[in-house]
Chain A
Amino acid sequence: MNAANYLYVSALLFSIGAIGVVVRRNAIVVFMCIELMLNASNLAFVTFARINGNLDGQVIAFFTMVVAACEVVVGLAIIVTIYRSRRSASVDDASLLKR
Chain B
Amino acid sequence: MTVFVAPSLSYSLLAPILIVLGGAVITVVFEAFLSKAIRPVAQLSVTLGTLVLALVQVWRIRHESSLTAAMGSVAIDGPAILLQATVLILAVLGVFLIADNEHFTVVAATLPGSEEERASIQSGEKLTEVYPLTLFAVAGMMLFPIATDLITLFVALEVLSLPLYLMAGLSRRRRLMSQEAALKYFLLGAFSSAFFLFGAAFLYGYSGSVSLAGIYDAISGGTGNNVFLMIGIVFLSVGLLFKVGAVPFHAWTPDVYQGAPTPITAFMAAATKVAAFGAILRIFYTSFSNAYWDWRPILTVIAIITMVFGSVVAISQRDIKRMLAYSSIAHAGFLLAGVIALNKAGLDASIFYLFAYGVATLGAFAVVTLVRDSAGEVTDLNRWAGLGKRSPFVATIFATLLLAFAGIPLTSGFIGKFSIFSAAYESGNKLIVVVGVLSSAIAAYFYVRVIVLMFFTDPADDGTSVIIPSILTRATIISTFAITIFLGVFPAPFLNFISSTATFIR
Which A residues fall within an 8 A CB radius of B? 7, 10, 14, 17-18, 21, 27, 30-31, 34, 37-38, 40-41, 44-45, 47-48, 51-54, 56-57, 59-60, 63-64, 67, 70-71, 74-75, 77-79, 81-82, 84-86, 91, 94-97, 99
Contact = CB atoms under 8 A, between A and B. Distances in A.
B155 A63 contact: yes
A44 B182 contact: no
A27 B111 CA distance: 19
B29 interface: no
Contact of B204 (A18, A52, A91, A95): A52
Contacts of B200: 41, 45, 60
Given A48-B201, A71-B158, A27 B165 contact: no
Contacts of A10: 201
A60 B177 CA distance: 36
A77 B193 CA distance: 19
Contacts of A81: 108-109, 169, 179, 182
Contacts of A51: 205
Contacts of A95: 180
A21 B177 contact: no
A60 B150 contact: yes
5 contacts: A18-B194, A63-B151, A81-B179, A84-B111, A85-B175
B70 interface: no
Indicate the member of B191, B195, B254 with the most A CB atoms within 10 Å.
B191
Nearest to A81: B179
Interface string B120-155: 000000000000000000000000000000110011
B377 to A, nearest CB: 15
Given A56-B210, A85-B175, A85-B176, A97 B201 contact: no
Interface in B160-201: 162, 165-166, 169, 175-177, 179-184, 186-187, 190-191, 193-195, 197-198, 200-201
Contacts of B416: none
A54 B180 contact: no
B348 interface: no
B190 A75 contact: yes
Given A60-B151, A74-B166, A97-B259, A48 B180 contact: no
A74 B162 contact: yes
B130 to A, nearest CB: 15
B197 A38 contact: yes
A84 B197 CA distance: 32
A82 B202 CA distance: 36
